[in-house]
Structure 1
Amino acid sequence: MSIQWYPGHMTQARKKAEETMEFTDMVIEVLDARVPAASHNPMIDEIRLFRQRPQLKILNKADLADPDVTQAWLNYFNAQPNTKAVALSCKKPGDAKKIPAICRKIAPHRGSHLKPLRMMIMGIPNVGKSTLMNALLNRRVAKVGDEPAVTKSQQRFDIDDTMSITDTPGMMWPKIAYDSDGYMLAASHAIGRNAVIDEDVATFLANILLKSYPALLNTRYKLDAMKLDVNVMDGVDLLEAIAKRRSYKRHDGLWDMEKTAVAFLTDYRSGAIGRVSLESPASRAEMMAQTLPEQPNTSENNTDTDNATDTSL
């Protein structure tokens, strides 16, 4: 199954971003530190590079990600031209306050009263753009919610007399090329729930974490106390074990796997399982080498629909 999600308002968001980029000096792209490559929207590069604008990549939610993997991503991104990457948590005001000074170094020709530095925050839904905006301005100006696509229109504000910033709606792209990217984004809550099946996403997530972080899963769900060997389990086994551990049963007496899936995804999203990353530069390269990307279906044109879609291929 392939997960696709491209609500109609995002087409207009892209057009508006293209217009604003002409009057922007640099781009701040906010990524999810747990899935930095999967949470990168390739359309942002298209818009940015057309105007030859430098960028700051912020790996947000770094407090939830594996610090060693995050460092590998910083090394990877900082080796790219016209790119600076930092890892932080936008929920920590002290972290966000570092951003203006970094931006001044990236665009030293701007940042005066005569030539204010004009920045634009971009990224996919629910990665923390609005939280960053509020922290930079030290007041609540952008609506924040734990759901994708809360921001629907651009907002521009002055940080001071020498810097301004534009917050943009979260933008997805019309076709997610790799199935695993769709599942990682869904697990990280960047895709609306009406486009996914929670049990499928939770099973996918469980398989990744069983491979990379079995000890954290064992600690969180006390699998050894149930006489289960985390090293021989698959994703379905793990979800069933969690259902039994927490006594999640339906009225008909069967295990409530839907409730279990939501609980497991919530544990991941909140950091209750521990600091984990779903991809590294090495695993990303391996995945791309082994997996052919999904090709767009030119016979279908549903990118301008107002509702999220879940397309099974």
Structure 2
Amino acid sequence: MSIQWFPGHMNAARKKAAEAMEKTDMIVEVLDARVPQASRNPMIEELRTFRQRPCLKILNKADLADPAATQKWLDFYNKQKGVHAVALSCKKPSDVAKVTGLCMKIAPHRGTALKPLRIMIMGIPNVGKSTLMNALLKKRVAKVGDEPAVTKSQQRLYLGNNIVLTDTPGMMWPKIEHPSDGLMLAASHAIGSNALIEEEVATFLADILLMHYPQLLTARYGFKTDGIDGVSVIEGVATKRAFRIKGGDLDLEKAAHTFLQDYRTGAIGRVSLETPESRVALLASYQPPPSLSDVRTDDEEDEEEQEEGRPLRKR
């Protein structure tokens, strides 16, 4: 299943972000620590690079991610030019308290009364930007919700200490190139529920957990994982939780929803769906679909063969 999700307001949000970035000193990009690269919007990187703005990458929800995988991602990002990466939870005040200090180190030439430090907070939907904004300002100024794309307009706010924050709506990009990225984002709740089928997303997630975290599945649901696949995991969740529809059949829809919620809330345990190594393997194996100009129909080939006097091939 290939998942695509690009609500209309996001195109307008991109244009406004491009305009605002001209008057911004640095970018704070919030990522989901469980899927850092899948949750990195390439349009943000493109805008940031064009304006040559430094970036603090926050791997949020680090308390839900595998610590070993998170450390690999920190090493990966901290090797990049103009980037500093940190893992934290935007729900923890002690973690959020570190952010302004890190920003001041990244842009030490700003942060005075005459030259306030202008920070733009960016990221895809539901990665925790609004939670970060509220925690930094120590009051509720940005809407926070369990559904992605709650914030739909740009806000400019004064933090104090000569710091100005610009909060932007969560932005997806027009086309998710790798199908697995769409599924990882859907599993992590960065994509609206109207754009996905939960049973398919849950099965994809279950296959990853079977490969890398089978012991967590056993600990959470009480069934053995030897020799089973993702579909069997969802069936096992339905059986263990006694989810049944009228007539006695397993309620796989409810089981899939429960399984996804258990992952999203951390009830299954600390899980990461990708690592720098798995990302390299994905890119190495990826074959982009042919462009329309590369696709020739059978009729076009037949016409060419007739013009050249060659016999038509049997189809």
Distance 2:158 2:290 in 1: 42
Task: Give matches, 1:69-108, under 5 Å.
Answer: 69-108=69-108
The answer for the alignment partner of 1:2 in structure 2 is 2
The CA distance in 2 between the partners of 1:201 and 1:296, in whole Å, is 27
SS of the equivalent of 2:226 reads helix
Runs (5+) with no aligned partner, structure 1: 224-228, 299-313
Could you tell me whether the CA contact under 8 Å between 1:203 and 1:236 is conserved in 2? yes
Change (3 A) 1:158 1:10: same
Change (3 A) 1:293 1:129: farther
Matches within 5 A, 1:98-247: 98-223=98-223, 229-247=224-242
- Aligned partners of 2:226 and 2:123: how far apart in 1? 36
SS of 1:230's equivalent in the other structure is coil
Same amino acid, percent of matched pairs: 65
The count of corresponding residues between Structure 1 and Structure 2 is 293
8 Å CA contact retained: 1:177, 1:294: no
Q: CA deviation at 1:297?
A: 7.3
- What is the TM-score with the length of structure 2 in the denominator? 0.91
Deviation by residue 1:58-77 (Cα, 9 ceiling, x = unmatched): 00000000000000000000
Q: Does 1:262 align with 2:257?
A: yes
Please name the residue that 2:298 is paired with: none
Whole-Å separation in 1 of the counterparts to 2:291 and 2:252: 33
Q: Per-residue deviation at 1:295?
A: 6.6
CA drift of 1:240 comes to: 0.6
Structure 2: unaligned runs, 5 residues or longer:
294-315
Distance 1:296 1:27 in 2: 34
| Contact preservation (8 Å) 1:125, 1:149 | yes
Q: 1:220 to 1:84 in 2, by over 3 A?
A: same
Indicate how the Cα distance of structure 1 residues 140 and 295 shifts in structure 2: closer, same or farther if over 3 A, else same. farther
Q: Does residue 1:42 correspond to 2:34, yes or no? A: no
- Paired with 2:13 and 2:239, the residues of 1 have a C-alpha distance of 45
Answer yes or no: is 1:272 the counterpart of 2:277.
no
How far off its partner does 1:296 sit? 7.5
- State the one-letter code of the partner of 2:120: M
CA RMSD, Structure 1 to Structure 2 (Å): 1.2
Per chain length, whose mean CA-contact separation is higher, i.e. which structure has more relative contact order (CA < 8 Å, sep 6+)?
Answer: 1
CA gap of 1:191–1:296, structure 2 versus 1, over 3 A, is farther
